Chains A and B, each alone.
Chain A
């Protein structure tokens, strides 16, 4: 990631100047390995992917890094409760800070550096022009709580889950780029309570299996999965709190403007066991791409057209696509010549 490629001025609100460069389009994590979609427990080891891919490193830093950190500050200034941590989560906060700082410094040495002398740490974040010395384990030595401090310097949302009573409890987090759910509402909930609104998956026992898997998640062996929905405009903050600001956008979509308004929204979700706290951090990194950008890859245009056209009705409803799915399908239809798509998600 070359520093010259950061686009610090792009926006995710107002004039929505966010765009993907041709390179960013080519590395977009398409979540559809086939021409149709249904839930699966699609969890895989979070191992390094090919060079340049979004899974090359533990945490992907891309051309939107500076702009996304700025967007987070805007949200937090308006709504401080987007960050929360219950008192017993302090050791997990330090675990998260360590994980993110060590990963970024190791994987992007041109942008981040971390030096340690015992518990005296120095953290340098060049893109955001930060140079912080602090004492690891002493919250008073940082300007904010450790999780708050470090997640303001990371792309994507983070939820930290305490493990007890054979369950996972969402009890700390930084959530400003979410697809219509609220940390303020969910904090303190168990794994299945938190996923309560998801249709079909409970009956398919997806959460029973996922929970059992996660309770045994091992240190040093993180896992990941992709999830997706769609969003009108490149708007990161589609929170229930701000529904009045974005809900009505969904009525604006026509077969003519869908290519620019409708965005595929993909979450690269990563899960790490944390060492001191035995908690699990759940990272939810959001990638946005407009249908017009997507259609620059012929295979993807065909495939997304078919997925949206044939989507299960309950998923259309749950993902909030009801009002504009037909317009999006109509916009994509001319790109689908009926030719078969090659297996896998690579752009060809």
Chain B
């Protein structure tokens, strides 16, 4: 995508829902309703910072039936490069932002016989919209939601109201853990599991499900990586024939964009594979931070996801 296809929105509501999470309501500028979407979708929010443009993916947590506003939840990241701090500290009611059309990389499977939804912390956000799509349907589902402590249980009132007994809460502070082995070991055939949360939780769910005999096609997960910081390095773009400096706190994709070169992207979180770029030369190591390339592909070092991945090298040449 390019920024000409974004939608201008105004922040019409902000609520601090936990010590770390703020809940934003975004309304379109002008009269038109926002685009229809499906549960599990995310948008890219474009933030004009003082010295840099932030483009972060956030899941839509509002009902796909309610298109007068989109709602997102933003967790303040400890090691933020700026995006989440910008949303928390700079954005106020009345602020204007640009957003991209929704993209769904975490959709519910329409032929599932049952859905098991597992969320950890801020990972509850895409699940909230998925639940809206499940209401009124005939397919059974259950939700398992794990948080650090009661004060970190974002959107709990909304969930209690809509989900009743289908909601299972787990508080780390009370020593409550989601019982993954019995949960995933006792589901009927045709069940799909969806997990969104910290990397450790996702990896554990995937490993447990696989060990319990689940087919990979029935295991769904989503985790957006914020681009990690790293050492500075130089990249040469072979087609455009320019050199770009990548500073420690800016991603490869952001640095290339700042140099005026457009790279096609979708999620900016290492999930979709859309920005995959060929590596032509390298005098060091790639630091792969994406969830798209297989371990074998990462080892080969022929391709990189510039949205989250970096290099430890003096010189990297990309096919751009």
Taking the closest CB of chain A, its distance from the CB of B300, in whole angstroms, is 18
CB within 8 Å of B: which A78-113 residues: 88-89, 91, 95
Taking the closest CB of chain A, its distance from the CB of B268, in whole angstroms, is 13
Q: Is the CB of A162 within 8 A of B110?
A: yes
Q: Is the CB of B5 within 8 A of A164?
A: no
CB within 8 Å of B: which A198-228 residues: 212, 216, 218-221
Q: Is the CB of A218 within 8 A of B1?
A: yes
Residues on B with C-beta less than 8 A from A221 are 1, 5, 101
Q: Is the CB of B109 within 8 A of A219?
A: no
Which bucket holds chain A's interface residue count? 10 to 19
CB within 8 Å of A: which B56-75 residues: 64
**Using an 8 Å CB-CB cutoff, how does the interface string of A144-163 with B read, 1 for contact, 0 for none?**
00000000000000000011
Taking the closest CB of chain A, its distance from the CB of B317, in whole angstroms, is 24
In the bound complex, CA of A277 to CA of B110 (Å)? 9
Taking the closest CB of chain B, its distance from the CB of A205, in whole angstroms, is 15
Contact among A91, A95, A164, A218 for B109, CB-based, below 8 A: A164
In the bound complex, CA of A4 to CA of B59 (Å)? 50
Q: Is the CB of B217 within 8 A of A218?
A: no
Take A219-B102, A220-B101 as given contacts and tell me if A276 and B35 are in contact as well, using a CB distance cutoff of 8 Å.
Answer: no
Taking the closest CB of chain A, its distance from the CB of B188, in whole angstroms, is 18
Question: Would you call A320 an interface residue if the criterion is a C-beta within 8 Å of the partner chain's C-beta atoms?
Answer: no
In the bound complex, CA of A89 to CA of B111 (Å)? 10
Residues on B with C-beta less than 8 A from A216 are 266, 272-274
Taking the closest CB of chain B, its distance from the CB of A22, in whole angstroms, is 38
**Using an 8 Å CB-CB cutoff, how does the interface string of B1-39 with A read, 1 for contact, 0 for none?**
100010000000000000000000000000000011110
Residues on A with C-beta less than 8 A from B104 are 278
Taking the closest CB of chain A, its distance from the CB of B63, in whole angstroms, is 12
Question: Would you call B107 an interface residue if the criterion is a C-beta within 8 Å of the partner chain's C-beta atoms?
Answer: yes
Residues on A with C-beta less than 8 A from B36 are 95, 275-276
In the bound complex, CA of A219 to CA of B105 (Å)? 12
> Secondary structure of the B side of the interface?
loop
In the bound complex, CA of A40 to CA of B273 (Å)? 22
Residues on B with C-beta less than 8 A from A219 are 35, 37, 101-103
Residues on B with C-beta less than 8 A from A15 are none
What residue in chain A is nearest B218 (Cβ atoms)? Answer: A165
In the bound complex, CA of A103 to CA of B104 (Å)? 23
Residues on B with C-beta less than 8 A from A278 are 38, 104, 107
**Using an 8 Å CB-CB cutoff, how does the interface string of B248-290 with A read, 1 for contact, 0 for none?**
0000000000000000001000001110000000000000000
Residues on A with C-beta less than 8 A from B64 are 276
Residues on B with C-beta less than 8 A from A165 are 217
Residues on B with C-beta less than 8 A from A89 are 110
Residues on B with C-beta less than 8 A from A275 are 35-38, 102
In the bound complex, CA of A276 to CA of B102 (Å)? 11
Taking the closest CB of chain A, its distance from the CB of B194, in whole angstroms, is 13
Residues on A with C-beta less than 8 A from B102 are 219, 275
In the bound complex, CA of A95 to CA of B1 (Å)? 23
Q: Is the CB of A164 within 8 A of B1?
A: no
Interface-centre pick from A91, A212, A277 (highest chain B CB count, 10 A) = A277
In the bound complex, CA of A216 to CA of B5 (Å)? 16
Q: Is the CB of A163 within 8 A of B107?
A: yes
Taking the closest CB of chain A, its distance from the CB of B108, in whole angstroms, is 9
Taking the closest CB of chain B, its distance from the CB of A274, in whole angstroms, is 9
What residue in chain B is nearest A216 (Cβ atoms)? Answer: B274
Q: Is the CB of A164 within 8 A of B110?
A: yes
In the bound complex, CA of A276 to CA of B132 (Å)? 12
Taking the closest CB of chain B, its distance from the CB of A273, in whole angstroms, is 9
What residue in chain B is nearest A164 (Cβ atoms)? Answer: B109
In the bound complex, CA of A169 to CA of B103 (Å)? 19
What residue in chain B is nearest A98 (Cβ atoms)? Answer: B36
In the bound complex, CA of A278 to CA of B37 (Å)? 8
Contact among A88, A91, A218, A220 for B111, CB-based, below 8 A: A88
Residues on B with C-beta less than 8 A from A162 are 110-111
Residues on B with C-beta less than 8 A from A95 are 36
Taking the closest CB of chain B, its distance from the CB of A161, in whole angstroms, is 12
Q: Is the CB of B111 within 8 A of A164?
A: yes
In the bound complex, CA of A216 to CA of B264 (Å)? 11
**Using an 8 Å CB-CB cutoff, how does the interface string of B197-219 with A read, 1 for contact, 0 for none?**
00000000000000000000100
Take A88-B111, A165-B217 as given contacts and tell me if A218 and B38 are in contact as well, using a CB distance cutoff of 8 Å.
Answer: no
- Knowing that A91-B110, A276-B38 touch, tell me 8 more A-B residue pairs with CB under 8 angstroms: A164-B107, A219-B37, A219-B101, A219-B102, A220-B5, A220-B35, A221-B5, A278-B107
- Could you list 8 examples of A-B contacts with CB < 8 Å? A88-B111, A164-B107, A164-B109, A218-B101, A219-B37, A220-B101, A275-B35, A278-B38
Q: Which 4 A-B pairs have the closest CB atoms?
A: A275-B36, A88-B110, A165-B217, A278-B38
Residues in A lying within 8 Å of B, measured CB to CB:
88-89, 91, 95, 162-165, 212, 216, 218-221, 275-278
